Structure 1
């Protein structure tokens, strides 16, 4: 009986987002622009920091720790294929989680559909990711690796990130309104996830010694997305060639979404009072 009560909330929010799709796109574009308004370089700052982060990690791990190439590919390409989806995921989830706080003036308006706020922040981060996805493809081309049919899998991976962030953010954006410490906890969780995905080190390093750890790390849904990016860029596998992990990912996302929207709808009437 409880499950049948949760389902209408999940479907209702999905319908609301679809009906407001034009407004979501417009407000996401405005959010992206206003984030860097007032600075001399404007939206260029959205791209400078991630590029500097990639260069820093490349210098530390390849020059400092002398990390080995990934097959015939330079380490910087393997690293970039992991960092690009991570930047999108972390920026989107963090922004969507804080959407109710950032747009508190809209939350207090009775006529405004606040269910679209987390989605607005996700698509705001999506605009930056478009640039970095192109940057990644160009970086591969500069190193002599042309796009293949597998590169189209990036579209599927982007859908996965949007779905996962949307599902998780309805829960976290609801809770942070009442427990502001969640914002600090989220920063710690993102740090742990980055190292446990893994992005900077190859999971094959522990495959022989700790096979149980490999299976445990694969339970992290972000691992599935990062692996999808690397499969796309290194032309290794299509997502349907990993059927178990694909089914696991979407079942998990659906479960999180149903649970998250249920919590969101329960707490929604009290947001304006707290904010």
Structure 2
């Protein structure tokens, strides 16, 4: 509860610092913040050429492959960036904030907010593609807000946990980078798990909470399926999120007074 209170109390500070970090990161680049959009667009073009054009992957639904891929890869870019950057969010700032009365639990949230600009811009591009292709707007689009909140809640929980562990055990961050590369393929970002794998293996891979979020966005825009239609899976996702938040917050509160000792 203390960690959650710190997020609410310091919300204006989170947005101010996130905006400053965005500008500071790209201030020496000619294209500046445009790289937040150009970089994912280049990656999307490569993945589409490899999987959509060369390997002729299918969406497994009535939607075109490019629509299906974008609906999953855009949240993945956001999730991946937040998890990897957030894992180092406390470690990178600990020497500076340890001498201040600064709520270190907001550092993972700053990472989340700083990546929202590129995420929402990419979502506008996706909506533009839907408009061009004549993708129908349905009542299920309303659950986008639910999946967005679920994504943010999960990301804060896992990032607070990762950021704390990364200070205590530096090898953890190196391992996390490798895990995220594997999760890219195990989360069905560029290929449909259900059309290419046996059902028992698909059920196993669905234990990955990232799959719940990514597939949820696809169900929202393209598959016309509500999250309430899978109540057990939804409860599983929120249970994982709450457990991660509890464990992460407990470890954070226990060790944050001694974080600087681990540098």
TM-score bracket, normalised by the shorter chain, equals: over 0.9
Q: Relative to 1, partners in 2 of residues 1:73 and 1:106: Cα closer, same or farther, differing over 3 Å?
A: same
Question: What is residue 77 of structure 1 aligned with on the other side?
Answer: 67
The answer as to whether partners of 1:81 and 1:136 remain within 8 angstroms in 2 is yes
Unpaired segments of 5 or more residues in structure 1? Answer: 1-10
For residues 155 and 106 of structure 1, do their structure 2 counterparts lie closer, same or farther at Cα, with a shift above 3 Å needed? farther
The equivalences for 1:149-228 within 5 A come to 149-206=139-196, 210-228=198-216
Aligned positions, number: 263
Aligned to 1:124: 114
Shift of 1:249: 0.5
Give the TM-score taking structure 2 as reference length: 0.95
Are the equivalent residues in 2 in contact too, given 1:27–1:120 (CA < 8 A)? yes
Q: Which position in structure 1 is the counterpart of 2:241? A: 253
- CA deviations 1:19-78 (Å, max 9, x no partner) are 111111111121222221111100001111101111111111121112235433211111
Q: SS at the partner of 1:147?
A: coil
Checking the alignment, whether the CA contact within 8 Å between 2:79 and 2:155 is kept in structure 1 is yes
Where does 1:37-48 land on structure 2 (aligned, <5 Å)? 37-48=27-38
8 Å contact from structure 1 (residues 107, 271) kept in 2: no
1:255 Cα deviation from its structure 2 partner: 0.8
- Residue 102 (structure 2) aligned to one of 109, 112, 137: 112
In structure 1, how many angstroms separate the alpha carbons of the residues matched to 2:56 and 2:105? 47
Aligned partner of residue 219 in structure 1, secondary structure: coil
Match of 1:93 among 51, 68, 83: 83
Shift of 1:175: 1.6
Where 1:103 maps in the other structure, the secondary structure is helix
User: Is the contact made by 1:160 and 1:225 (CA closer than 8 Å) also made in structure 2?
Assistant: yes
Q: Alignment partner of 1:170: what SS?
A: helix
Q: What's 2:93 paired with?
A: 103
Q: Does 1:270 align with 2:252?
A: no
- Mapped to 2, the partners of 1:72 and 1:119 lie a distance apart of 37
